[in-house]
């Protein structure tokens, strides 16, 4: 028994060793990709060649369905390929690895190609502090969650989830309005199931997904289709890992962020809305205030017992008339389409400038 306890004590250390080993592999794989593509002049006939490095943009796993690939293809109408041979643009993102960080710095200093740095992560969390200043302003263009950053323009991750790359490349403000109305219509889907929670881990913030789930379990059992607190196989077996389709059966979606920083709003809220769920949320205390109607969100409180929230959840689930009144509130506030359209215009302008600078 004592021997088993000693093994369990060593598990965190073992996990760190495994994670570090995987990151070293990513580093050397990137070097290998660069050497092979350059030596073989891979995709030399393409009009635009994109190179990828980082967590969201790992070169070896990127396909022609990647957001930036489809966006640039839709924006330019040209033949686009993924290659390190004379890249037109290097697309990078943070990766929790000092080796990859140093490789990014080296590429910035010695590569002739322009670089776009995109962060889908909270760069103010301990894990990504190395990237807090978006590589110190070295990339030709940086995009992330931060408001008024001297190093980056704001382009939050959730935009990539509810709009495809080719849509953002061409959409008018009217197209966006139609898309938002379609999301609004999802609120009135017929639902019987209580609440879902889909997550791989508990996050690093003071509010955990497990904590919220256990509180809601006192009202009715929560379906957990991810690795965390797993008790439901239907997401894979019946919905082929399509999260939105799976969530359409549920009244609530438990969707706190991994951490909380002003501006850090991921896809979680918007996936809830698209599936017609009422989000039970913790994160930025004022998420996308110029886009989302906060009356359509149940904000889980960091302090206190959340008794009032639990009473509201219980009444919304049991009383369909009460729920109907709650859902009459619009998800998106007036002018949301214009704000989103401005994000699209900025991205089009910035990417066009980057591509022109590589010619």
Domains along the chain? 2-170+348-357 (no CATH), 189-328 (3.40.50.11660)
Using a 10 angstrom Cβ sphere, with 0-12 exposed, 13-18 middle and 19 or more buried, the burial of residue 329 is exposed
Mean pLDDT, to the nearest integer, of 249-267?
Answer: 95
Q: What's residue 9's pLDDT? A: 43
| pLDDT tens-digit series, residues 12-63 | 566 566 656 666 666 666 777 777 776 677 788 999 999 888 755 444 456 7
**Of 100, 12, 14, whose CA–CA distance to 54 is shortest?**
100
**Of 82, 85, 58, 86, whose CA–CA distance to 72 is shortest?**
82
The pTM (predicted TM-score) of the whole model is 0.87
% of residues, the chain, pLDDT over 90:
67
Nearest-angstrom CA–CA distance, 172 and 134: 30
**Residue 64 banded pLDDT, cuts 50, 70, 90:** confident
- What Rg value do the Cα atoms of the chain yield, rounded? 22
**Of 80, 102, 123, 116, whose CA–CA distance to 27 is shortest?**
102
Q: Which of 26-30, 163-167, 296-300 has the lowest mean pLDDT?
A: 26-30
Please enumerate, as own/partner, the contacts of 22-25 that have beta carbons within 8 Å and a separation of 24 or more.
Answer: 23/95, 23/96, 23/97, 23/99, 23/100, 24/97, 24/99
Neighbours of 79 (CB within 10 A): 12
Strand order in the sheet with 278-281: 223-224, 193-197, 250-254, 278-281, 298-299
Identify whether the C-beta of residue 92 lies closer than 8 Å to the C-beta of residue 144: no
Identify whether the C-beta of residue 59 lies closer than 8 Å to the C-beta of residue 33: yes
| pLDDT tens-digit series, residues 96-154 | 666 677 777 877 777 889 999 999 999 998 888 888 899 888 899 999 999 999 999 99
Question: Which SS3 state, helix, strand or coil, does residue 165 take?
Answer: helix
Nearest-angstrom CA–CA distance, 252 and 241: 18
């Amino acid at each position: 028994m004592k021997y088993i306890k000693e093994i369990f004590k060593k598990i965190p250390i073992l996990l760190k060793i495994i994670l570090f080993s995987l990151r070293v592999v990513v580093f050397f794989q990137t070097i290998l990709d660069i050497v092979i593509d350059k030596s073989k002049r891979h995709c030399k006939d393409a009009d635009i060649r994109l190179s990828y490095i980082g967590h969201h943009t790992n070169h070896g796993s990127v396909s022609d369905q990647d957001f930036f690939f489809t966006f640039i293809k839709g924006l330019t109408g040209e033949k686009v390929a993924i290659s390190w041979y004379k890249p037109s643009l290097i697309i990078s993102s943070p990766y929790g690895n000092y080796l990859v960080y140093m490789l990014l710095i080296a590429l910035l200093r010695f590569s002739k190609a322009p670089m776009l740095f995109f962060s889908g992560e909270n760069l103010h969390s301990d894990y990504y502090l190395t990237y807090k200043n978006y590589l110190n302003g070295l990339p030709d263009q940086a995009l992330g969650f931060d408001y008024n950053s001297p190093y980056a323009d704001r382009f939050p991750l959730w935009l990539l989830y509810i709009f495809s790359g080719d849509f953002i490349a061409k959409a008018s403000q009217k197209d966006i309005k139609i898309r938002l109305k379609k999301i609004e219509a999802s609120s009135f889907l017929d639902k019987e199931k209580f609440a879902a929670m889909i997550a791989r881990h508990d996050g690093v913030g003071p509010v955990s997904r497990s904590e919220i789930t256990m509180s809601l379990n006192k009202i009715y059992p929560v379906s957990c289709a991810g690795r965390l607190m797993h008790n439901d196989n239907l997401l894979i077996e019946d919905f082929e890992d399509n999260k939105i389709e799976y969530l359409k059966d549920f009244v609530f979606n438990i969707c706190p962020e991994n951490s909380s920083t002003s501006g850090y709003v991921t896809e979680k809220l918007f996936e809830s809305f698209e599936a017609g769920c009422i989000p039970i949320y913790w994160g930025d205390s004022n998420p996308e205030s110029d886009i989302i109607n906060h009356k359509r969100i149940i904000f889980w409180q960091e302090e206190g017992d959340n008794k009032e929230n639990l009473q509201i959840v219980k009444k919304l689930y049991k009383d369909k008339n009460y729920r109907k009144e709650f859902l009459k509130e619009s998800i998106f506030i007036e002018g949301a389409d214009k704000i989103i359209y401005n994000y699209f215009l900025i991205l089009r302008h910035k990417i066009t400038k980057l591509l022109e600078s590589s010619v």
